[in-house]
Amino acid sequence: MRAVIQRVHRARVEVAGEVVGQVGRGLLVLLGAGAGDTEADLAYVVDKLVNLRIFPDDDGKMNRSVLDIGGGVLCVSQFTLYGDTRKGRRPAFALALEPVAARALYEASLVRLRAAGIGTVEAGVFGADMQVELVNDGPVTILVDSRKQF
Residue 150, pLDDT > 90, answer: no
Q: Which residues of 71-101 are buried (b: 16+ CB within 10 A; e: fewer)?
A: bbbbbbbbbebbeeeeeeeeeeeeebbeeee
**Out of 38, 55, 78, 150, which one is annotated catalytic?**
78
Mean pLDDT of 106-134: 98
Measuring CA to CA, which residue among 114, 118, 105, 104 is closest to residue 42?
105
* pLDDT for the residue 116: 98
**Out of 22, 38, 55, 79, which one is annotated catalytic?**
79
Q: In one letter, which amino acid is 126?
A: F
- The Cα 150–Cα 148 span in angstroms is 5
Domain extents in the chain: 2-137
Pick the CATH number of 2-137 from 3.30.300.340, 3.90.1280.10, 3.20.20.140, 3.50.80.10: 3.50.80.10
* pLDDT for the residue 71: 98
* pLDDT for the residue 84: 95
* pLDDT for the residue 85: 95
In sequence order, what are the residues at sequence separation of 6 or more whose Cβ sits closer than 8 angstroms to the Cβ of residue 83?
91, 92, 93
Mean pLDDT of 136-149: 96
Q: What is the CA radius of gyration of the chain?
A: 15
Confidence of residue 51 (pLDDT cuts 50, 70, 90): very high
141 is catalytic: no
Kindly report whether the peptide bond that precedes residue 139 is cis, defined as omega within 30 degrees of 0.
yes
| 61-109 residue pLDDT tens | 999 999 999 999 999 999 999 999 999 999 999 999 999 999 999 999 9
- The Cα 133–Cα 20 span in angstroms is 12
**Out of 22, 55, 80, 120, which one is annotated catalytic?**
80
- The Cα 84–Cα 106 span in angstroms is 21
C-beta of residue 32 within 8 angstroms of C-beta of residue 142: no
93 is catalytic: no
- Which pTM was predicted? 0.96
C-beta of residue 137 within 8 angstroms of C-beta of residue 9: yes
| 30-45 residue pLDDT tens | 999 999 999 999 999 9
6 is catalytic: no
